[in-house]
Structure 1
Amino acid sequence: MKIMVTGGAGFIGSHLVDELIKQGHKVVVVDSLVNGDLENVSPEANFYHMDINEPGLHDVMVHERPEVVYHFGAQISVEHSNRNPLEDSFTNVNGTLKILNYCVELGVSKIIFASSAAIYGVPELLPIQEGHPLSPISFYGVSKWSAERYITMYEKRFGLNYSILRFANVYGPRQNSLGQAGVITKFIINKLENKPIIIFGDGEQTRDFIYVKDVVQSCIRALTKGDHQIINISSGKEVSVRQLASVISKLSRQPFNYIYEQVVEGDIPNSCLANQHAKFSLDWKPNTLLEEGLKETMDYYSMNYNSESKERYVSSEVK
């Protein structure tokens, strides 16, 4: 099958590309390299260095004729979205609309969209089901919500099949410190640089951390399952920031120094996504324990992180 992956040089997208190629698919990658890295892209993929809003994307899709599109290309920083809502919307909403138009024009059979837990806002009840009220508290969450609505409308008006996957806090190798699970990368890099771990607030805030390889398997299942559905992809477990720091300290076999700073304004106290729908609709479940995933992630950075590679993993927004 010919498959296009926008954002295929990024953290999740590049792991997905690797698995698609492994399974024998022909893969086309489109990435602006704003968040992605060319080193992440398999040489077996057809790579186009291009923003999804560039007019040339239409020519690429006409030339390549993908049967399925994974739309993972996005502006991913909550902080950046709150400072630059117009830019965030241009990428996450306008860019999505262009891709939807091209998919309809060229007869793409399905679009699989990477959405986010950020669309839920402050949860009324945990774990969060897909039917939970949507009340995002960031422009990033609003733009992802808007993109979802356009996708579902394109199905109603034009019959474009879709699966919308709402990811919890994805972590793993190749991730930089940007994004909602960037705390793991920050903790690991601070460990490698012998710096203290910075915890905002009391560290009792919880998140739902899901390993990237498990996420990729859910995306693969969505090729043939989960049609016309919105599905949470998560571990279904709450882990506090203090617990996370403790596990990383244990795996590194050395104690950490902790610095506690004022809680970030607008930070959600607790988050956890229910994943029963994914188990039913995609015949999928997470298989990686937190310690196992963290160990693989730490091993990756231990081998790949150095002064020359620092720019790949440490966002300029958090230096």
Structure 2
Amino acid sequence: MGAPSGEVIVTGGLGFIGSHLVDAYLEAGHRVTIIDSSTGAVIDGKDYDRDPRCTVIRQRVEDYLAAGGDFAGADRVIHAASYVGPASILSRAGRLGHDIIGSTAPVIDACIGAGTPMCLFSSAEVYGRSGLLDEKDDIVVPTHYNTRIEYAIAKTLAEAMVTNSRQHGLRGIVIRPFNVAGARQSRAGGFVMPTFVQQALAGKPITVFAGGEQVRAFIAASDLTRFLIEHMDAALDSDDTVINVGNPANAITIMGLAHQVKKLLGSASPIVGVDGRSVHGPHYAEAESFHKIPALRAATSLGWQPRIALDELILSTAAYYRAREDRRAVNAPL
């Protein structure tokens, strides 16, 4: 089931998903090397610095590799480093393709050179349409090239690079996560659950974009990390290179999420409709997948199932932000 204890490299290991992966691998008895430029960090990493099983390299992975670093001796590389979030990506418009491919290509090359298996984190944004979305479905590429579409195209190309690099000896898989949420996720990226939770805790208006009829299926970060801890080896040996990881049982409209957060937290916050561009600027856009539900054919065939229900996920996120501030969102709108 799980990987043997050894060294795991996590790029973007100080970010939201990356740090949950680091914690899970450490708990499972692995040594972990984090390579992270700190651009999207949600934690400072000082606890990892003090852990003798963990090494933190604070630079971009492409710079680390260009300076002679390698992945020799690592048991696996989890490439989670990326700009992410509908608000965070806006500043990289016109550069996202370079950012994503510029880090992915050298990681693939280094994994091939070291004989190290890798997992690339992609995005459910690649589908470009609404519905129940299966890994075997065709991808739609709209031609109004806003920043979110640039992001989706770049992630799609990175997926193709991993898939085609199997011809050159790469053992690699791609994860398409669907709306991961939980502790540490920052509202600074434009993510809806930490935004609603922090607004409700502060008694501020809960701001719903685009009428709130968007449907999202939220998965706990712990469910996502458990897939890699317990099933990555089997996934590498399977016929599926691209694997959806999500929780269709947690599907809810964004307006429904706002009401559920308000109810669970006993908040007096009003729920108000606003234009996302008034919050994040004129280039903000909603996702092409207005209704986005994962089909889990590949993941469940390996024996994995999501466990954390939506209410538990909301409450755990709230518990985290009752105890501490959102370190990335000091200057972000609330």
Could you tell me the TM-score, scaled by structure 2's length?
A: 0.85
Partner of 2:292: 271
Could you tell me which amino acid in structure 2 is paired with residue 289 of structure 1? A
Which of 141, 155, 159 pairs up with 2:169? 159
TM-superposed CA distance for 1:263, in Å, is 6.3
Aligned-partner Cα distance in 2 for 1:318–1:88: 23
- On the 8 A contact 2:201/2:267 being kept in 1, the answer is no
Which of 166, 174, 189 pairs up with 2:198? 189
Partner of 1:50: 59
TM-superposed CA distance for 1:40, in Å, is 7.3
Partner of 1:67: 75
TM-superposed CA distance for 1:299, in Å, is 0.5
Q: Can you list the C-alpha shifts for 1:248-304, whole angstroms capped at 9, x where unaligned?
A: 1111113320221236644442111111321103x1110001001111110011011
Partner of 1:146: 157
Which of 289, 292, 295 pairs up with 2:312? 292
TM-superposed CA distance for 1:85, in Å, is 3.9
> Is 1:118 the equivalent of 2:128?
no
Could you tell me which amino acid in structure 1 is paired with residue 263 of structure 2? K
Partner of 1:205: 214
Aligned-partner Cα distance in 1 for 2:315–2:56: 31
Partner of 2:135: 130
Partner of 1:23: 28
Could you tell me which amino acid in structure 1 is paired with residue 260 of structure 2? V
Could you tell me which amino acid in structure 1 is paired with residue 243 of structure 2? I
Partner of 1:244: 257
Change (3 A) 1:28 1:248: same
Q: Can you list the C-alpha shifts for 1:145-166, whole angstroms capped at 9, x where unaligned?
A: 111111111112x121111110
- On the 8 A contact 1:2/1:66 being kept in 2, the answer is yes
Aligned-partner Cα distance in 1 for 2:157–2:231: 21
Unaligned 5+ segments in structure 1 are none
Aligned-partner Cα distance in 2 for 1:184–1:294: 8
Matches within 5 A, 1:220-235: 220-227=229-236, 229-235=241-247
Q: Can you list the C-alpha shifts for 1:46-86, whole angstroms capped at 9, x where unaligned?
A: 11001122155653325x63121000001113455455344
Could you tell me which amino acid in structure 2 is paired with residue 314 of structure 1? A
Change (3 A) 1:230 1:267: closer
Which of 221, 237, 255 pairs up with 2:268? 255
TM-superposed CA distance for 1:178, in Å, is 4.4
Partner of 1:38: 44
Q: Matched residue of 1:198: which SS?
A: strand
TM-superposed CA distance for 1:135, in Å, is 2.1
Change (3 A) 1:230 1:298: same
Partner of 2:145: none
- On the 8 A contact 1:76/1:178 being kept in 2, the answer is no
Aligned-partner Cα distance in 1 for 2:69–2:141: 34
Could you tell me the TM-score, scaled by structure 1's length?
A: 0.89
* Higher alpha-carbon deviation: 253-262 or 83-92: 83-92
Change (3 A) 1:151 1:178: farther
Partner of 2:301: 280
TM-superposed CA distance for 1:111, in Å, is 0.5
Partner of 2:322: 302
Could you tell me which amino acid in structure 2 is paired with residue 249 of structure 1? K
Could you tell me which amino acid in structure 2 is paired with residue 304 of structure 1? R
Could you tell me which amino acid in structure 2 is paired with residue 205 of structure 1? Q
Q: Can you list the C-alpha shifts for 1:7-56, whole angstroms capped at 9, x where unaligned?
A: 11111111111111111111110001000132476333111001122155
Could you tell me which amino acid in structure 2 is paired with residue 172 of structure 1? G
Aligned-partner Cα distance in 1 for 2:46–2:20: 8
TM-superposed CA distance for 1:313, in Å, is 3.9
Query: How many pairs align?
Result: 307
Aligned-partner Cα distance in 1 for 2:46–2:14: 5
Unaligned 5+ segments in structure 2 are 1-5, 143-148, 278-284
Q: Can you list the C-alpha shifts for 1:212-249, whole angstroms capped at 9, x where unaligned?
A: 10011012134311125211001024210111111111
Select the structure with the greater relative contact order (CA < 8 A; seq sep ≥ 6).
Answer: 2
